[in-house]
Structure 1
Amino acid sequence: MSRFLLVVPPLVGHVNPVVGVAAELVRRGHEVAWAGHGELITRLAGAAHVYDCALPPATPRPPELRGAAALKFLWEEGFLPLAESMAPGVEAAIERFRPDALLVDQQAVAGGLIADRLGLPWLTSATTSAELTDPLASMPKVRDWVLERLAALRASIGDPDGSTDPRFSPHGVLAFTTAELAGEMRGVTFVGPSIGDRESEVDFPWDWLDHRPTVLVTLGTANVDAGARFLTECAATGIRAVVADPARVLSTSDTVLPLPHVPQLDLLPKMDAVVCHGGHNTVCEALWHDLPLVVAPIRDDQPVIAEQVAEAGAGVRVRFTKATAEHLRVAISTVLDPGSGMRANAARIGRSFRAAGGAAAAAAQLEALITAGVHA
């Protein structure tokens, strides 16, 4: 039996994939603990062993920020302060739990820096593949700025004489996707999405669904302020849709069912396509269920994921700020059309996801990391 510490940021989309990995490790007889936002982890993972880490004051990101400005803000006001705040909690978790190895989210960089300094083996958890494609390559000034800040952070909480990039463990990177969607990547182990049997407490009027083709429209959990116009245009397409509408901007009709919360995993098997922002979890969950997508990326990793969907022939990319009801009607009709081949391509990717192993494959990689350390 081994001990594994899971280090995660306070982001639902980064915690959910690891919940299944934690459950699989426990099923195999290992001890598991978490370091991160205690309340969020407990809500998503249940009765978990959690070491709570301090969080920096929240700085809301202006919804109009895009491109380089949005990415710089994300690091400057998000990931870097988060690392500094989490560092004492991560170090305390390691001291008290004494893990044999760590699984560290790519954006919880304190975990990698501290594990590296203490000589502990660790794997990177890449819950989105965007960072693996070097999204800052076309923004050299932003990339250099990020690397400078990471070097300063390494000198502060990591090994001052080291050179490890805490986003990429030298022991290995687990990507919760497959090459069929993300493309071939060196130095990455594709384990496919970790999609567990999360129980939903959301009530849903299942009798609203009928034989007519229906799509799910969702912009994730972090885009409420930016989504009103887009959701309104989706509702005007005339295509039957269940809409995640947390701001309650839409009204119910024969073709539109807006709800502040939807039981997404329960709904997907009953949908015919998904319209979304390109969030990695939503895209992977849709493709897991063989559903084609209309993707309207907003910022961050979403343009990269949207491009992957389009290049794989599993969906259509539209412009979030410019798409009209007619644009969306055409795009949705295209992915619903069997002649477009998009449903078949989505099913091909879905098969690769299910074959990759998910949580079981990730757990096996963590076990192998321990074994390699024993025999080194």
Structure 2
Amino acid sequence: MRFLFVVPPFPGHVNPLVAVTAELRTRGHVVAWTGAPGSLAGEPVLPCGTIPLPPRPDGLQGFAALKFLWEQVLVPLAEAMAPGVEAAIGQFGPDVVVADQQAFAGALVAQRLGVPWATSASTSSDLADPLSALPKVAQWRADLLAALAERLGAPAVDPRFSPRLVLAFTTAALAGEGPAGVTFAGPALGARPEVDFPWQDVDPARALVLVTLGTVNTGAAFLAECAAALRERADRVQAVIVDPSGTLDAPGALVRPSIPQLDVLARAAAVICHGGHNTVCEALAHGLPLVVAPIRDDQPVIADQVVTAGAGVRLRFGRAKAAQLGKAVDQVLDDPRYRAAARRVAESFRAAGGAPAAVAALEALTGHCGLPAG
């Protein structure tokens, strides 16, 4: 079988699917991508249009932030991607299109061309329907999607939810039950590019705390407050801080522009982060409690999931100072209930099956059972 993966050019939406495509190839299927960065670990990537991502104005919150994301990023991106998606379908001839929830063009073009499509829910925020209590905002979003579908000549379907299969890379233990038809596969953790890291400087006698804001967020002031909080606890805590800007002055901490995150998590005791879905799920897959300070978009929803699961503490990103951060770190390190809750979520992730479970669901969608490649 042939599977075309349509993703937005955001690393966090690509990473969960790398392990899925590797598993598909192991079972003898053929895979291609479109919408992904031009180079993806040697995998075939078909050309697709994109847009220059507009700078997000400082201080956007609430509906203003949602409006910016949809009107300035997601809808224009779908229109830019649509011709490339159609060309990729024509060139590759997929049996199934797997479309990321924010790559609307994948779903809408596949629907128009009559190609079966599945949804990749790289974040679980929409599964909880966060706009259910805001009917006017929900209608505004529905109208945007309907107008987009009309412009692309597609039926008026919600491109975020395939009627055939929605793959969610989480579990109900973290995200709640979700709507009918969702397959909870848990995180799909696969191989990542190698990144240099000074393992010789890791102190096994201290608790390692990872601080990261993901791949697209900036927060120099927040990172500085985290560094100060952890420096006060340097007798028992070692900080690893991801600072892509290379500007953070944090004596005593291991500050790197990028890290081999899964390997670092395997040695960590806790994580401070922004509530990005991948970071949260990767931390919880390792049974690690979290201090979560969401910035925008889906992050407040994910942060609430962490708190509801009992696996962490939530702080306000713009107001979190060293004293608050230090207290929160003490809580998740010293109170065993947070780690116990994180481990319960980790157990649910393992039971869900990860990439093999996702591939089994895709094979069931096509009625095909893959065979190991010879």
Please point out which of 239, 260, 265 is paired with 1:263.
260
1:236 correspondence with 2:248: no
Write the distance in 2 (CA, Å) between the matches of 1:37 and 1:100. Answer: 19
Change (3 A) 1:38 1:296: closer
2:78 is equivalent to residue 83 of structure 1? yes
For 2:100 and 2:36, the matched residues in 1 are separated by: 13
CA contact (8 A) 1:102 1:123 kept: yes
Task: Give, as a single letter, the amino acid of the residue that structure 2 aligns with 1:108.
Answer: A
- CA drift at 1:252: 4.0
Question: Cα 1:343–1:77, aligned 2, differ >3 Å: closer, same or farther?
Answer: same
Rounded to whole Å, the distance in 1 between the matches of 2:226 and 2:136 is 37
Shift of 1:158: 3.8
Q: CA deviation at 1:202?
A: 2.6
Query: Aligned with 2:328: secondary structure?
Result: helix
Distance 1:58 1:248 in 2: 22
Tell me, in whole angstroms, the C-alpha distance in 2 between the residues paired with 1:220 and 1:366.
29
Give CA-to-partner distance per residue, 1:165-207, whole Å, 9 cap, x none: 1111111211000000001123211000011121322333432
Q: Is the Cα contact below 8 Å between 2:7 and 2:14 reproduced in 1?
A: yes
The aligned residue for residue 177 of structure 1 is 170
Distance 2:103 2:303 in 1: 24
Distance of 2:138 and 2:153 partners within structure 1: 20
For residue 312 of structure 2, what is the aligned residue in structure 1? Answer: 315
Map 1:297-308; keep pairs closer than 5 Å.
297-308=294-305
TM-score (norm 2): 0.93
Whether 1:117 aligns to 2:102 is no
Q: What CA RMSD, in Å, does the superposition of the two structures yield over aligned residues?
A: 1.4
Question: Could you tell me which amino acid in structure 2 is paired with residue 56 of structure 1?
Answer: I
Residue deviations 1:121-156 (CA, integer Å, cap 9, x gap): 111000100011112234433322221111111112
- In structure 2, the residue matched to 1:369 is 365
Deviates more, 1:260-269 or 1:194-203: 194-203
Aligned ranges 1:180-259 → 2 under 5 Å: 180-187=173-180, 188-224=182-218, 227-237=219-229, 238-239=232-233, 240-254=238-252, 256-259=253-256
Provide the rounded CA distance (Å) in 2 between the counterparts of 1:313 and 1:9: 32
Contact 1:79/1:107, CA 8 A, preserved across alignment: yes
Offset, 1:267: 0.5
How far apart in 2 are the matches of 1:245 and 1:56?
26
Shift of 1:58: 2.4
How many Å separate the matches in 1 of 2:53 and 2:274?
A: 23
Amino acid at match of 1:362: A
Q: What is the alpha-carbon distance in structure 2 between the residues aligned to residue 63 and residue 302 of structure 1?
A: 17
Contact 2:311–2:341 under 8 Å retained in 1: yes
C-alpha distance in 2, partners of 1:79/1:250?
Answer: 32
Distance in 2, matches of 1:369 and 1:342, equals 38
1:72·1:142 contact (CA, 8 Å) conserved in 2? no
Query: Which residue number in structure 2 is paired with residue 126 of structure 1?
Result: 121
| Structure 2 SS opposite 1:316 | strand
Letter of the structure 2 residue corresponding to residue 284 of structure 1:
C
Distance 1:28 1:140, change over 3 A: same
Q: Deviations over 1:319-366 (max 9, x none)?
A: 1111111111110000001x3411011011011111211111111111
Letter in 2 for 1:174: L
Q: Which runs of 5+ in 1 are unaligned?
A: none
The equivalent position to 2:156 in structure 1, one of 155, 163, 176, is 163
Counterpart Cα distance in 2 of 1:247 and 1:66: 24
Gap regions ≥5 residues in structure 2: 369-374
- Conservation of the 8 A alpha-carbon contact between 1:3 and 1:99: yes
Equivalence for 1:6: 5
Aligned-partner residue type, residue 116 of structure 1 = Q
Q: How far, CA to CA, are the matches of 1:52 and 1:17 in structure 2?
A: 21
Q: 1:78 to 1:285 in 2, by over 3 A?
A: same
TM-score by length of 1: 0.93
CA contact (8 A) 2:195 2:259 kept: no
Match of 1:149 in 2: 144
Q: What residue is the counterpart of 1:335 in the other structure?
A: 332
Give the share of equivalent positions with the same residue, in percent.
Answer: 58
